[in-house]
Chains A and B, each alone.
Chain A
Amino acid sequence: MTAATLPRVPGNRDPRVSRGRRVAGSPALRLIVKRVLMAIPIIIGVTILASWVLSLIPGNAAQQLLGPQATPEDIALLEEQLGLNESGVSRYLDWLGGAVTGDLGQSVVSGQEVSDLLAERLPVSGELVGLAFVVSLLVALPVALFAAHRPNGVFDRISMVISTVGLSVANYVLALILVLIFAVQLGWLPAIGYTPLSEGLWANLEGMILPSAAIGIPLFCFYTRFLRGDLVDQMQQEEYVTTARAKGVGSWQVLLRHAFRNSSFGLITVVGLNLGALIGGTVIVESIFALPGIGQMLLQAINTRDFIVVQAVVVVFAVVAVVANLIVDLLYVLLDPRIRYGSR
């Protein structure tokens, strides 16, 4: 590409540098590429760790399938058929080779393709976590802003007491309390079970409200506390707040336009770190509410020693955690000009 064919670029960029090199040289893109490259060894490390940890578990799927009465010969035969007697390293490499090309293997117990199982289960967990996450964040934002607007006011104190207590409740306890109140006592919502979306939106949501509340309420408490604390810090200590106030900017304006903008970085970080833990939390809530999601599949797979399924779930969890952090980094780039222009 010659300089003459290049479109006119605004600003003072050197037109002799090709567009490709200019994009490659952008600090934001470099940062993103660096992060993606860093994520790959982490995910591979997680899968190695997973297959090592799983190899420590006594018993295998052949024994579980045949039951305690099986003769050693039968077990040996089935192990042969299922390919369980190869060495751990070669099985891992086989699996990795397949996984890279999108083939996650077949469940040893049900014979189903693992990718089909994931396609069936992931939407359930995704809906659960997505609902909990979005609703808790949407509620936490105004509550934290109102609380930080008048620190130590009545609203602030009440919301802090609630969120402190809420953070100390285990999600399985919360789940049972919710069931006790809304399903057993009041009978408003079903205690367990899942209805697919194809049978109507309300039927589906009805079964999702309690489980996502069990995940979402502690999350809401966490976000509220965090954001409120950060906002109050900004308002009390930062010089730009003093400047804005001295200029005569209204208190809500300072809070929303100045403090909140800065606090949003901390919040994004926390949200990103949290998202990985969040999907892990589905295991227990799905088992309480009998939701056919990925967490329940994981528990079943561990119990039946269906390690290829466990491996796949671990990868999904790790990818979610890593991608969440990637998105956090991307948001930094979008929000913070200091990173965008690579001043550091």
Chain B
Amino acid sequence: MAVADTPISVTDHPGLEHGHEEEPRRGKWRQSLGTWIPAGMIALILLACVFGPLVLPEPTGGSVLESNLPALSPGHLLGTDPNGNDILSRLLNGGRASLFIAAAVNVLGLVVGGTLGALSGYVGGAVDTTIMRLLDVLIAFPSLVLTLAVAQALGPSITNTILALAFFSIPAFARVARSAVLRLREMPFMAAAQISGTSTGRILFRHLAPNIAPQLITFGMLGMGIVIIIEGALSFLGLGVPDPAPSWGNMVATGQLSLSATPMLVVWPSLALLITVLSFNLLGENLRSRWSGR
């Protein structure tokens, strides 16, 4: 429901308003360090996931003769799983799928949700009410049910996972964009643009878009973490990236079956998930404190 309608100054998205204080004593270099360390981690993870699979063995179709090798075995840095597949290779291939899905979902959410939200906030009136009520329905709809149903309906595949998750990210981006536009609408440059007869489309894309982009991109960084986790949940339930192709979620799910005997099968993908999501969250938080101008 529309919390934003209540006469209390809470921003539309809860994730965007906590912990953004920047201590005055803290130097500038520390803040840039806070941006560059997680950004560097993300770059490293991206590079490893893009180029790693090129030099590592295939992630599927391993031989049973090589099953359950321990870590640091020759040719298998992290050992192999019960099917004889190289764990590191599965990890990096899985990461490739996870990151691709997360990026695609967030780009879709940013473009579609951002446009809808900005339009809604700028035009106002009946358009605003219609768009926001429709999005309210999407928000009240349990996201996992929707993604489960879409994944079931269209069958598990990477494209369908992206579509299913986009449903869920669009309303979130729309709310962020809308609340940002509502704040900008009262600015003098908006009045100037309107008085000089600029068309609505031009105002939206040339005047509003550049101003709300930083907020949306920052939200997208936090969204990357969220989508990676939810994609993992879908794959964990067998409804995301289809077996035998690896993803962090389905690696955790298959590892769970032999949790007491070979816990490392769960630990590696869990660590990969944690480090990646943590990096995106830290980067998002840090960017946010930069934009908020403190």
Task: Write the residues of chain A forming the contact surface with B, with a CB cutoff of 8 angstroms.
Answer: 35, 38-39, 41-43, 45-46, 49-50, 53-54, 56-58, 151-152, 160, 164-165, 167-170, 172-173, 176-177, 179-180, 184, 225-230, 232-233, 236, 265-266, 269-270, 272-274, 276-277, 279-281, 283-284, 287-288, 298-299, 302, 310, 313-314, 317-318, 321-322, 325-326, 328-329, 332, 336, 338-339, 344
Q: B142–A168 contact, CB under 8 A? A: no
Q: B30 on the interface (CB 8 Å rule)?
A: no
Given A164-B282, A184-B259, A339–B6 Cβ distance below 8 Å?
A: yes
Within the complex, which residue of A176, A233, A269 is in contact with B3, where a contact is CB–CB below 8 Å?
A269
Task: Write the residues of chain B forming the contact surface with A, with a CB cutoff of 8 angstroms.
Answer: 1-3, 6-8, 10, 14, 17-21, 23, 133-134, 136-146, 148-150, 152-154, 225, 229, 232-233, 236-237, 249, 252, 256, 259-260, 263, 266, 270, 273-274, 277-278, 281-282, 285
Q: A280–B142 contact, CB under 8 A? A: yes
Q: A273–B237 contact, CB under 8 A? A: no
Q: A338–B7 contact, CB under 8 A? A: yes
Q: B2–A302 contact, CB under 8 A? A: no
Within the complex, which residue of B10, B142, B150, B263 is in contact with A269, where a contact is CB–CB below 8 Å?
B10
Closest 8 CB pairs of A and B: A229-B19, A229-B18, A45-B137, A226-B18, A317-B142, A168-B278, A325-B1, A56-B153
Q: A265–B10 contact, CB under 8 A? A: yes
The chain B residue sitting closest to A279, CB to CB, is: B142
Taking the closest CB of chain A, its distance from the CB of B166, in whole angstroms, is 14
The chain B residue sitting closest to A282, CB to CB, is: B144
Q: A225–B19 contact, CB under 8 A? A: yes
* Between-chain CB contacts (< 8 Å), 18 pairs: A45-B137, A46-B137, A57-B149, A164-B285, A165-B274, A184-B260, A225-B19, A229-B18, A236-B21, A265-B8, A283-B145, A314-B141, A317-B142, A318-B141, A322-B140, A328-B3, A332-B8, A338-B7
Within the complex, which residue of B18, B21, B259 is in contact with A179, where a contact is CB–CB below 8 Å?
B259
Taking the closest CB of chain B, its distance from the CB of A197, in whole angstroms, is 26
Within the complex, which residue of B1, B143, B149, B256 is in contact with A326, where a contact is CB–CB below 8 Å?
B1
The chain B residue sitting closest to A174, CB to CB, is: B270
Q: A42–B278 contact, CB under 8 A? A: no
- Bound-state CA distance A57–B147 (Å) is 12
Taking the closest CB of chain A, its distance from the CB of B87, in whole angstroms, is 16
B270: chain A residues at CB < 8 Å are: 170, 173, 176-177
A43: chain B residues at CB < 8 Å are: 140
Given A172-B233, A322-B1, A280–B144 Cβ distance below 8 Å?
A: yes
The chain B residue sitting closest to A38, CB to CB, is: B1
Taking the closest CB of chain B, its distance from the CB of A288, in whole angstroms, is 7
B150: chain A residues at CB < 8 Å are: 53, 56
Q: A266–B233 contact, CB under 8 A? A: no
Q: A287–B237 contact, CB under 8 A? A: yes
- Bound-state CA distance A233–B143 (Å) is 32
Given A170-B229, A302-B152, A273–B3 Cβ distance below 8 Å?
A: yes
- Bound-state CA distance A287–B253 (Å) is 11
Within the complex, which residue of A38, A56, A151, A168 is in contact with B274, where a contact is CB–CB below 8 Å?
A168
Q: A165–B278 contact, CB under 8 A? A: yes
The chain B residue sitting closest to A59, CB to CB, is: B152
A344: chain B residues at CB < 8 Å are: 7
Q: A318–B140 contact, CB under 8 A? A: yes
Q: Which of A39, A270, A279 has its CB near the most chain B CB atoms (within 10 A)? A: A270
Q: A164–B233 contact, CB under 8 A? A: no
A53: chain B residues at CB < 8 Å are: 146, 149-150, 153
Q: A151–B21 contact, CB under 8 A? A: yes
